[in-house]
Copies of this chain bind each other. A is one copy, B any other.
């Protein structure tokens, strides 16, 4: 495997195979599998789980990593093509990426959405500019519209919870003071559809997922016996749910317009997941969230501290899921 950029680049069987490898590495560690291998981690945005779990994952298999954070001890990097670099960025990714790749055995890159132009973000303009000049294996640590590591870990969590393959999966919008990127909702809707689930996207008007993202999810559902739909009717959406996956994201109607987004979301503070959201859900319904989560803003203390919350399990599963990806990318079997 040379690249792990999008779950959609893999067949369902290939994903199941990765998940099997994740479980194997969890239960039968391979402390020398990546001996001598070095992963370069390039973070254009903050991170807790990704930053920690990728470093730990490499070390748990005998490899190691370096972390580069533009703007934090490293220059700002330019991603746009053809510009005269007269502003803050002192270096272009067309130099920085090949250089880092020449030092390392693989790279991981995190670059959030620019958040100004929806079409540009849907096209993954920034990430693609970097992927294009990277000749080493590459992992997407979260791009404008994708977070395949989160999706893979979440699939593992669903399996561990014995959530029915064709169960009901509700991705619910949740309140946040600011517009957040669409990467996780995009990746999670697609993942749940690919797993075979009946997916409902529950969101207020103005926060519809962009059509290309829904189309991807529909296509994935078609191949797995699942389904995908969107609604703003909360009670009906939550009825019989096996999973409520809460996530904050920005208005797509007012994408890139902070003022209009703010006006719209100011009326939506009631979209904080509370115990009563689970009234009509399946008895074993779990609360998922990719973290970080603002307590009592997006999800209440009672839910996060209660038995339905599996958020720390999800976060833990980042580790074995990513170890499977790294193992598949860099393990040559020689153990060096």
Contacts and interface: CB of A to CB of B under 8 A. Distances in A.
Interface in A269-307: 291-297, 301, 304-305
Given A47-B74, A56-B38, A66-B56, A90 B301 contact: no
A95 B52 contact: no
A95 B55 contact: no
A95 B312 contact: yes
A98 interface: yes
10 contacts: A48-B74, A48-B96, A52-B104, A64-B64, A83-B295, A85-B297, A89-B294, A91-B294, A94-B295, A102-B316
A12 interface: no
Report whether over half of chain A's contact residues are helix, strand or loop; otherwise say mixed.
Answer: mixed
Q: How many copies does the complex hold?
A: 3
Contacts of A301: 82
A47 B75 CA distance: 7
Contacts of A69: 73
Contacts of A91: 48, 291-294
A312 B48 contact: no
Interface of A: 31, 36, 38, 40, 43, 46-49, 51-53, 55-56, 59-60, 64, 66-69, 72-75, 78, 82-86, 89-92, 94-96, 98-100, 102-104, 177, 291-297, 301, 304-305, 311-312, 315-316, 319, 336
B31 A295 contact: no
Which interface residue of A40, A89, A96, A177 has the most chain B CB atoms within 10 A?
A: A96
Interface centre among A59, A292, A301 (most CB of B within 10 A): A292
A52 B66 contact: yes
Contacts of A294: 84-86, 89-92
Contacts of A304: 94-95
Nearest to A315: B99
Given A85-B294, A95-B292, A319-B103, A38 B64 contact: no
Nearest to A69: B73
A297 B85 CA distance: 6
A83 B100 CA distance: 41
A49 B99 contact: yes
